[in-house]
Amino acid sequence: RSAFVAATVVFVALTVAGVVLAAVLYRSMLSGIDSTAAARVGEVAADLESDDAVGLDPGLLSTDQRILAVQVITPDGTVVRRSPSAPDTPLVPITEIGDGLHIGMPEHASPYGRIRFSAQTVDGPGGRYTVLVGEGSQVVSSTVKTVVIALALAAPIVVAVSAAATYILVGRSMRSVDAIRSRVAEISTSDLTERVPV
């Protein structure tokens, strides 16, 4: 019974800890990707404020696992500059972006699957542009999924070890109690010389 209770407590504790860990990891990684995208949006916007889209530094259009796509869009919805893998149509309708800075916009369907976006509207010598950056949020989901699977595989082992350890330790500690109980049962009024083992 003690082993069962111990296993149940450990299982519940591991489940709660796993859920909290997965949530914290997801938020932390997502925040990191949002920060990377926000930095890229800021760099492109700063470049557009001093020059037009034609003179944009090509390095700002580069992509990796965190930045999947970069687009520079005019108010009429024309993509004037883009990263090599990005389509020539806006990844998010220009009407859904709005003015100002937007970090970690809700996921939209794209050629890369459902991903998050960050965007900013900027005015420069070449006119008004919207900078749109697609974030690699799928990497976050796959990483958290891998961690959850690893925890799910490890949990039964930890629960089994804790149950076995509790069973053995409680059994050993109860041996002396059993010896005392057996000796007390043997003592009778006819033989009061028997002593309980201490």
**Token representation of residue 64:** 């990796």
Instruction: Say what the pTM is.
Output: 0.70
Query: How confident is the model at residue 23, as a pLDDT?
Result: 92
Q: Are 14 and 158 in contact (CB under 8 A)?
A: yes
The answer to whether 148 and 93 have CB atoms below 8 angstroms apart is no
Predicted pLDDT of residue 13: 92
CB-based contact 40:134 (threshold 8 Å): no
Per-residue pLDDT of the chain (198 residues; tens, 9 = 90+): 888 888 899 899 999 999 999 999 988 988 888 888 889 989 988 888 888 777 888 888 888 888 888 999 888 888 898 898 888 888 888 888 878 888 888 777 777 777 888 999 988 887 889 999 988 877 888 888 999 999 899 989 988 998 898 888 888 888 888 888 887 777 766 666 777 767
Residue 52, burial from CB neighbour count under 10 angstroms (0-12, 13-18, 19+): middle
Instruction: State the pLDDT at residue 189.
Output: 62
Evaluate whether 84 touches 63 at the Cβ level (below 8 Å): yes
Q: How far apart are CA 27 and CA 88, in angstroms?
A: 31
